[in-house]
Structure 1
Amino acid sequence: MNKILLFIVVGLTIVSCKNETKTTEKNIEGVKKDIAYASFGMEINDADALTSERMMEQYKGLEAGDTVLTKMSAKIVEVCSKKGCWMTLDMDGENKVMVKFKDYGFFMPLDTKGDVVVNGKAFVTETPVDELRHYAEDAGKSKEEIDAITEPKLEFRFEADGVLLKTE
């Protein structure tokens, strides 16, 4: 009986000490490369963001006073040089969108450049002359350029509650 018990213990020890290595291959072809972003305002992600061209199609269907909740990606053209309290985005090479930040809850760095994803409310508005002049002053325009603003302008606007700035 002791010999059988000894045989079972030795057998189990040999089996449990067996060093078996398994290798697995992973297919990494379809893995999406993560893009690094600096985040401002509300926490958002870049999923389902409209391209600037698709967003411009949405804007063209809006009238003054209409709003659309959306997320879009675009390239920064200009940022307020005094506080970073607004920025303009290039939509299609012709049109730009003025972006302000909800409740002035956050600002962009003054030297901001590159691509962004903005989340919030898109709308069309008529901007009065005094406001247009104020923005021109903030942008560092010359006195002559500011004085040349004499008529209100129908503008594409965006109130962002969150912004992702693509980092290199």
Structure 2
Amino acid sequence: MKKLVLLAVLLATTVACKTNKEEKKNKEKETVAVAYDSFGDKITDADYLSAADAYAKYQTLKAGDTLNIKFASKINEVCSKKGCWMKLPAGDTDETIMVRFKDYGFFMPLDSKGREVIVEGKAFVKEVSVDELKHYAEDAGKSEEEIAKITEPKLELAFEANGVLMKQ
């Protein structure tokens, strides 16, 4: 009988220790923080949409409509002269979202292409003139031939960011 009691105590202790170790591992995983560089207004990395979900929101907008959102994406392209704009992919589509910065108040590093970001601000759809499209192509370092092919205005998914977090 004493052996059974001793065996039960040893078994209970082993299970309790194993459970405590698993709980510690889970807590350690929860506290791993992602480091960000912050630009513009201070924003958090909580409650953001995916790029695909943001694109779905854009599909409900008409030219002139605005929507306040926060979403995460990866930088496709950044202005090579000042970092005064960036293009983010719109989910799994070929479309991009043109991001400018509120009041021209901050810029992104010129070498930030390919970095993951969270942006917060106003999403909207606008018509972009031929002159403006050519200007952006020039800023992006496109060839004269590519710039000459721009002959029609286009509707653009636009975003005015008041704050950006970029993963370090």
TM-score (norm 2): 0.82
Specify the alignment match of 1:123 in structure 2: 124
Give the deviation of 1:159 after TM superposition. Answer: 0.2
Unmatched segments (≥5 aa) in structure 2 = 1-19
Deviation at 1:32, TM superposition (A): 4.4
In 1, Cα distance between the equivalents of 2:32 and 2:133? 41
What's the counterpart of residue 105 of structure 1? 105
Find out whether 1:78 has 2:77 as its counterpart. yes
Match for residue 24 of structure 2 among 24, 27, 52: 27
The equivalences for 1:125-144 within 5 A come to: 125-144=126-145
Q: For 2:97, what is the secondary structure of its paired residue? A: strand
Q: Secondary structure at the match of 2:52?
A: helix
- Tell whether 2:51 aligns with 1:52: yes
Q: Which residue of 1 aligns with 2:62?
A: 63
Cα distance in 1 between the residues matched to 2:81 and 2:25: 46
Match of 1:88 in 2: 87
Could you list the per-position Cα deviations for residues 11-43 of structure 1 after superposition, in whole angstroms to 9, with x for gaps in the alignment?
Answer: xxxxxxxxxxxxxx6634042421110000000
Contact 2:48 2:71 survives alignment (8 Å) = yes
Greater mean alpha carbon deviation, residues 55-64 or residues 30-39:
30-39
Matched, 1:42 2:19: no
Say if 2:48 and 2:118, in contact at 8 Å, map to a contact too.
yes
Q: Is the 8 A contact 2:89 2:97 kept in 1?
A: yes
What amino acid maps onto 1:49 in structure 2? Answer: Y
Q: Deviations over 1:68-113 (max 9, x none)?
A: 0111100100000000000000122322100000011000010013
Q: 1:63 to 1:32 in 2, by over 3 A?
A: farther
Distance 1:32 1:63, change over 3 A: farther
**In 2, Cα distance between the equivalents of 1:63 and 1:32?**
41
Q: Secondary structure at the match of 1:58?
A: helix
Task: Describe the shift of the 1:61–1:135 C-alpha distance in structure 2 as closer, same or farther (beyond 3 A).
Answer: same
In the TM superposition, residue 144 of structure 1 has moved relative to its aligned partner by: 0.7
Q: CA RMSD in A?
A: 1.2
SS at match of 1:29: helix
Q: Tell me whether 89-98 or 155-164 shows the greater mean CA deviation.
A: 89-98
How many percent of aligned residue pairs carry the same amino acid? Answer: 57
CA distance in 2, matches of 1:72, 1:92: 11
Larger Rg: 1 or 2?
1
